[in-house]
Amino acid sequence: MNETQTQRYQIRIEDRESHLTRIIQLSPRGLRLLAGGAAAVLVLVTAGAVLSVYTLMHSYEGAAEKRDLRDVNRIQQEQILRVSKKASALADELDSLRRSEDSLRAIVGAPPAADAEVAPTSAAPTGGAPHALTTEEVDEALEMLETRIEERRSSLDLLARTMSRSFPGAAAYISAGAPQTMPAGWPTEGYISSPYGLRFQGTEFHQGVDIAADVGTPIVATADGVVRAAGWTASGYGNMVDIDHGGGIMTRYGHASAVAVAAGQEVRRGQIIAYVGSTGYSTGPHLHYEVRVGGQPVNPASYMSQ
C-alpha cells in the first residue's frame, strides 16, 4: 500500500459547551465527493434563487400590465361618457327646436313638422342584446344628431321668415329665431340652499345662489351666449362654466360634476351645459349660480323668477 492510498484528511469539530471534539477522517475520494455534493447544493440554491427572482419580476410585470390596461380602459370610458353627455345635450336641443317649430306652425295653422328620416346606425341598435357603446359608435350618433339639428334649425328659420312676411305683428312669437340673451328661469331643478348676499353671520358675501340638487342633475344655460370658460378652475368653483350673453351680462355655473360644452361654443337658452356635482370648495352636491352685469355680481333671484 503506497502513501497516496494511506493518505487521510481530518475535519475537526469542537463543541465548546460540552468540551467535546469530534474528528472525521476522509480519504481523498471522500473529500472529492463531499466537495461535489456541496457544489451541487450551491448550484441548486442559486438556481432556486434565480427562479424566484424571475417569477417575482414576471408577476410585477404582469401586475403593471394589468394596471396599464385598467388605466386605458378607464380613460376610454371617460371619453365615451363625455361624448355620450354631449349627444344627450344635442338630443335635448333637438327636442327644444322641435317644440318651438310646432308652436310657430300652430300660430299660422300649419301642420306639425315631420321628423327627418335617419338611417339606423350601429350606435342605435334596433334589436338584440344591448352592448356597451364604443367611442366610434357614440361619435356616429353624435354626428347624426348634429345633422338633424341643422335640418331642424334650417326648417325653423324658413318658417320664421315666412311668418314675418305673412304676419307683421308675429315677430314677438318667433322666440326660437330671435336671440334670448337675457337670463331667465332656473338653471337646474332643486331648491335654494344658500341665497345671494351676506351669510355666516355676516362674515362672507355670497355672490350667487346655491341650488341643492342630486349629483348628475342637468344644468342648462339661462340665456343664449358664448361659452368663455368650461372645465376645472382652481378658484374654488371646481368644474365651472362661464357664459357671455353680450351687453356686459355673464352667468356662471359652479361645482359641476362634469361639463358638456367647450370654451368658444355658442349655446342656446335651455341647452344642457353641465351636470350638478360637488367639486371645488363644496360641502355637498349643488349648483352655484351667478349673474354678473358689467363684471359685478347681482342678485340672480329677479332673473330666476322670470
DSSP 8-class letter at 109 = T
CB–CB of 272/292 below 8 Å?
A: no
Q: Average pLDDT in the 205-218 region?
A: 93
Please write the tens of the pLDDT for every residue from 240-250: 999 999 888 99
Q: Which residues pair with 239 in a beta bridge?
A: 232, 256
- What pLDDT does 160 receive? 63
CB under 8 Å to 44, separation ≥6 — which residues? none
**60-74, 124-138, 143-157, 244-258, range with greatest mean pLDDT:** 244-258
Q: Give the angle subtended at the CA of 111 by the CAs of 109 and 117, to the nearest 5°.
A: 155
Q: What is the chain's mean pLDDT, rounded?
A: 76
Please write the tens of the pLDDT for every residue from 10-55: 666 666 776 676 666 666 776 677 677 777 777 777 877 777 777 7
Determine how many CB atoms are found less than 10 A away from the CB of residue 226.
Answer: 14
- What pLDDT does 52 receive? 73
- Region for residue 198 given its phi and psi (left: phi exceeds 0; alpha: psi -120 to 50; beta: otherwise): beta
Please write the tens of the pLDDT for every residue from 124-136: 444 444 455 666 7
82 compared with 192, residue with greater pLDDT: 192
For residue 233, pLDDT over 50 is answered with: yes
pTM: 0.46
37 compared with 214, residue with greater pLDDT: 214
Q: Please state the φ and ψ torsions of residue 231, each to the nearest 5 degrees.
A: 130, -160
136 compared with 162, residue with greater pLDDT: 136
Q: Give the angle subtended at the CA of 271 by the CAs of 133 and 258, to the nearest 5°.
A: 55
For residue 172, pLDDT over 50 is answered with: no
Determine how many CB atoms are found less than 10 A away from the CB of residue 128.
Answer: 6
User: Measured between alpha carbons, how far is 210 from 194 in angstroms, rounded to an integer?
Assistant: 5
219 compared with 59, residue with greater pLDDT: 219
